Structure 1
Amino acid sequence: MRQRPRGDSRGILAPGRLLRQVRFRRHLPAPALRPWVEHYWFVDWDLAEPFAQQVVPHPAVNVVFRRDGDGPETAEVAGVGRELFSITLVGSGRVSGVQFRPGGFRPFWPGPVAELTGLRRSFADLAGRWPPARDHTGGACDGTDAERCHVLDTLLTGWAPASDPVTDEVIRLVEEIRTDRTVLRVDAFARRHGLSTRRLQRLFLDRVGVGPKWVIRRYRIQEAIEQAADGPPPDWARLAADLGYSDQAHLIREFTAVTGTSPAAYARSVG
């Protein structure tokens, strides 16, 4: 179990620009929640001009609390995003987010996680179906980081998640895909774990919200994006081979489709 939150910028386009414009940080949840919650992420801003940010989403559900200026706190569940996420921040505000581990939202949700994929559902819309949405009274964006963490810990613990061996298995499988570059094909990965491809697909749709092939490709392209932003431009042909692409052209096509810009242009823009 992690003793500190992730320190990478994976998924964040032009992370240096983001850190110059806003206060962004991550914190771990209470130990009892760490089997399911990756981290809390906080963003505070006070801007003279609008600031636009793009993110290549992880295969993870987020619960997001936001307050703009002195306005009311809003809350939403953001399912796994298949497309590039763009947001423009203006004025001042705060966000307190919960990023669940891929598969980790299932103990907090009453149905297949795939029904949330590609959607952002406000707590107001979910209040009739999901008790946590009905019970939300605000406060997640108030106070110090420690106070905000305490509110989120209390809120999530109050949702009474229960350990589930199938969910635990799926979380481990996704973590293996994230950390093991040799995982390139769904059928080979399924055989490695004594599962049929169909069974693996069903497990991922129910617990993660997307299929295993999508998870593999998303983690690999996120790594390519991070390498493009970190130091001198990589050897794209070698990186393509390392990440399981058939050739450099395949990596360039997927990179451009996901981010809207070519690897070389992206590397120049953040250099």
Structure 2
Amino acid sequence: MTPWIEEVGVQYDDGSTAGDSQVLVLPPDPATTVVWRMTAAGDSDVLVTGPRTKASYQAKKKLPALVRLRIQPGRVRSLLGVGGDELVDRVVPLTELWGSAATSLAAELTEHRDDPDRAVDLLARQLAAKAPDRQGRSGRSELVLAAIEELSAGARVAQAAGRAGVSERYLRRVFIEAVGLSPKHFARINRVRSVLGRAGSWSRIATEAGYFDQSHLVAEFRSIMRVTPAAFAAGRVPVTTC
């Protein structure tokens, strides 16, 4: 697996879905994800889902095979040749970026529909092979990756910029180009993601997650997740069928 792949998700439908939730929760995500899927009709395609600024809730579809490779924020241009700002809140067929090479890849992946490990390995290797300079990093790339690390650890935007020796304005510009989100929005999404699935007192969770108070958590959660924390925990979400 390449160092650019932060997370791997695999779903192979064996027909035993009774009792599973029929809602697919897609939380906001500062990362870009490459997805290979097969439909029940046997069609195969590879998609690129850009950074998601708000949560989405969809009715689940049965797919014989689904593989997701989540790319580390800030690494998208190295692998796909486009910045995160060109992908934010979009789902783009890989053919738009790679042309016929993406069509060939989708066809080759169908040979591994019953072998998820090989499908993941093939998709990861093809992504790595497209990276123009897998060892080198530009100064901007180093800056963005360092800021991502700082913000993910709870630093404020001003702190991240100060430690990097640049202005907040400059950091914001290069960060948006690389990641697709502003540093502030990146931090907000990460903070909301950190409370998903947690149980207990919302007041305590708010403090532990770095919110000012419970009302701050509720307001930010509702803005990004589109429902209140209580409604989300109870499964009361606005499901779409598209």
| Amino acid aligned to 1:258 | I
Match of 1:42 in 2: 10
| Amino acid aligned to 2:207 | A
How many matched pairs?
228
Deviations 1:160-185 (A, max 9, x none): 3423233244223213322x23x1x3
d(CA) in 1 for partners of 2:197, 2:47: 28
Match of 2:225 in 1: 259
Match of 1:12 in 2: none
| Amino acid aligned to 2:79 | F
d(CA) in 2 for partners of 1:69, 1:239: 42
State whether residues 28 and 225 of structure 2, in contact with CA within 8 Å, keep that contact through their aligned partners in structure 1: no
Equivalent residue in structure 2 for 1:139, among 87, 108, 111: 108
Mapped pair 1:56 → 2:27: yes
C-alpha RMSD of the superposition? 2.6
d(CA) in 1 for partners of 2:148, 2:182: 11
Alignment of 1:150-169 (within 5 A): 150-162=121-133, 163-165=136-138, 166-169=140-143
d(CA) in 1 for partners of 2:67, 2:22: 18
Deviations 1:58-79 (A, max 9, x none): 2101111101224111111111
Deviations 1:11-36 (A, max 9, x none): xxxxxxxxxxxxxxxxxx2xxx21x2
Higher RCO (CA 8 Å, separation ≥ 6 residues): 2
TM-score of the superposed pair, with normalisation by structure 2: 0.82
Mapped pair 1:99 → 2:67: no
| Amino acid aligned to 2:137 | D
TM-score of the superposed pair, with normalisation by structure 1: 0.74
Alignment of 1:208-247 (within 5 A): 208-228=179-199, 233-234=200-201, 236-247=202-213
Match of 2:160 in 1: 189
Deviations 1:80-103 (A, max 9, x none): 011212332234421111100011
Equivalent residue in structure 2 for 1:116, among 64, 79, 87: 87
d(CA) in 2 for partners of 1:112, 1:127: 15
| Amino acid aligned to 1:164 | R
Match of 1:171 in 2: 145
Q: Mind listing any 5+ residue stretches in structure 2 that lack a counterpart?
A: 237-242
| Amino acid aligned to 2:148 | V
d(CA) in 1 for partners of 2:142, 2:116: 29
Mapped pair 1:249 → 2:215: yes
State whether residues 95 and 101 of structure 2, in contact with CA within 8 Å, keep that contact through their aligned partners in structure 1: no
d(CA) in 1 for partners of 2:172, 2:63: 42
State whether residues 96 and 140 of structure 1, in contact with CA within 8 Å, keep that contact through their aligned partners in structure 2: no
d(CA) in 2 for partners of 1:267, 1:87: 16
Deviations 1:144-201 (A, max 9, x none): 23211221233123213423233244223213322x23x1x31222112212101111
Q: Mind listing any 5+ residue stretches in structure 1 that lack a counterpart?
A: 1-28
Deviations 1:207-232 (A, max 9, x none): 1111100111111111122323xxxx
d(CA) in 2 for partners of 1:83, 1:68: 26
Tell me the CA shift for residue 268 of structure 1. Answer: 4.7
Q: 1:93 and 1:251, CA in 2 relative to 1: closer, same or farther beyond 3 A?
A: same
For the residue of structure 2 that corresponds to 1:136, the secondary structure is: helix
d(CA) in 2 for partners of 1:222, 1:132: 34
| Amino acid aligned to 1:139 | E
